[in-house]
Chain A
């Protein structure tokens, strides 16, 4: 059974839809599954032409007759064209050792092997690398969120901060931090700051902005009428904050958290990429690329995506439980 969306919001005049839940499993899983299947289909199709040149070369070395038989002549063909002339080679494209594009089951196999069959302290274990990335992600996220909330409170309550900090917060997002991240890491490294903290800094930088924007919006979401009501009670600013603004901002806060945590993860991975880091998802992606092990890159890529999805899912669950407890969600 699916709950009727927004069923209870008819009575109030509140603009924000408190009851916007994605609680219906059947409704939300089916579209997602459809998209996943579509992507999988495209991927499976793409594997053939993407790998066909490599497969043909290898097959020829193994004594299979390939059309055309001159490697140079084959270069004139597109992947699709080559496949057209050599339909027998198609199965080989899915199990090629060093593919240009690995097939889904190869990636799944690599992930299974590096997640479940290796000791989690091993340098070959994706769990180990996952934790190396997750720790600075969480630390950076905490710093970014804390800073974001504080800034938002300042911006909402102080005209001076609204005029001075808010423009800078926006300008800060025009800096291509993904390009600057390596420099930041190198500069910090040269003054002896290494390991967890520089990566957390990038993660914090990327996550504070969505929190600031969301919280400013949330803290300002109470209507003029609700603010007037508090004025008739002669309530102080502090009382107004705890009684009205903060609870009213919670739905916005959770949305910000979900954007922020994924931004943090991206920040950490980017910070790992170019700096010779030896561990972490970013390092794995780079290592796989540099040493001709595409499976390693792809496995790390998917593990990172799954980690992000898990974190967002976690916050989704916390959000739902919290809002339901506060009576803001329909039963």
Chain B
């Protein structure tokens, strides 16, 4: 069990009164799962991811990451986090950006080159090590940021709408690459998105959420095979799952 959340609550105190970002959230994520969180904005999907990462503190309930508290997991560097924007340091080369976590975590210098080469190969950016971020396209920058999150070899990858700012065509390619990467590295991935096809295409488990208060309305175990060419998105099986996700989103809206 990688993530185990039980009756998780998170209430932000704002000037307009309390906002229930998460209410009564129960979820389990197993080793090797690819879990997508989908829902309209304000449903708490990003907040939930940030709670796993110890970037937000829950106000109620329990959550464990790798069997320990999120804080302990963060201190143990148990996960890599990919943000919505690549957020590469402009003054570091791509290689330098990937070395950043290695330097901070005190990974021996001798290992750096090998690790950088390995993760660059995983995101298909070999040969770009010496380029500066501004020399890369938006999609390449985001791949570089994924490489950065992979470089210290944490078993859990938390991704917050990593492809949200990219166009549909690049998105398709990156989704395909991400699936390959997931198959090769056997990591556990928690993936926030607002795209139904993206969620269905990538996931072994789809968590549908709804806002006010942020809660889980449906958890769908995908019946799709592990091997997924892009064409799978036209199969009846795929469409059936997408339909169920859509229904879940609509239901969340109706009673919300």
A residues apposed to B, CB below 8 Å: 8-9, 11-14, 18-19, 223, 225-226, 228-235, 239, 243-244, 247, 250, 326-328, 330
Contact assessment for B136 and A11 in the assembled complex, using a CB-CB cutoff below 8 Å = yes
Q: Determine if B55 and A233 form an interchain contact, defined as CB atoms under 8 angstroms apart.
A: no
Q: Are A8 and B134 neighbours in the complex by a CB distance under 8 Å?
A: yes
Q: Which of B74, B100, B105, B137 contacts A11 (CB 8 A)?
A: B137
- CB-CB contacts of B26-39 with A at 8 A, as 1s and 0s? 00000000000000
Chain B 94-110: CB-based contact to A (< 8 A → 1; otherwise 0): 00000011011100000
- Interface status of B118 (Cβ within 8 A of chain A): no
B75 within 8 Å of A by Cβ? yes
From A13, A229, A328, residue with most partner B Cβ within 10 Å: A229
A239 touches B137 (CB 8 A): no
**Interchain CA distance A11-B133 in the complex, whole Å:** 8
* Chain B residues in the interface with A (C-beta under 8 A): 53-55, 74-75, 77, 79-81, 83-93, 100-101, 103-105, 132-138, 141
* A14-B90 CB under 8 A given contacts A232-B79, A233-B77: yes
Contact of B91 among A11, A232, A247 (CB under 8 A): A247
Question: Could you tell me the dominant secondary structure of chain B's interface residues?
Answer: loop
Tell me whether A330 and B104 are in contact in the complex, defined as CB-CB below 8 angstroms, given that A12-B86, A12-B141 are known contacts.
no
Chain B residues with CB under 8 Å of A231's CB are 54-55, 74
Asked if A11 and B134 make an inter-chain contact with CB atoms under 8 angstroms apart, the answer reads yes
Query: Taking the nearest CB of chain A, how far is it from the CB of B141, in angstroms?
Result: 6
B105 partner residues in chain A, CB cutoff 8 A: 233-234
Bound-state CA distance A14–B87 (Å) is 8
For residue A325, which residue of chain B has the nearest CB? B91
Q: A327 near B132 (CB under 8 angstroms)?
A: yes
Q: Which residue of A lies closest to B74 (CB)?
A: A234
Residues of B within 8 A of A328 (CB): 90-91
B86 to chain A, nearest CB (A): 7
CA distance A327 to B96 in the complex (A): 12
Contact between chains at B134 and A9 (CB < 8 Å):
yes
Q: How far is the CB of B46 from chain A (nearest CB, A)?
A: 11
Residue from A14, A19, A243 within 8 A of B100 (CB atoms): A243
13 residue pairs of the A-B complex, CB under 8 angstroms, read: A11-B134, A13-B85, A223-B87, A225-B83, A225-B85, A231-B54, A232-B81, A233-B77, A233-B101, A243-B89, A247-B89, A326-B91, A327-B92
Question: Which residues of B lie under 8 Å from residue A226 when comparing CB positions?
Answer: 87, 89
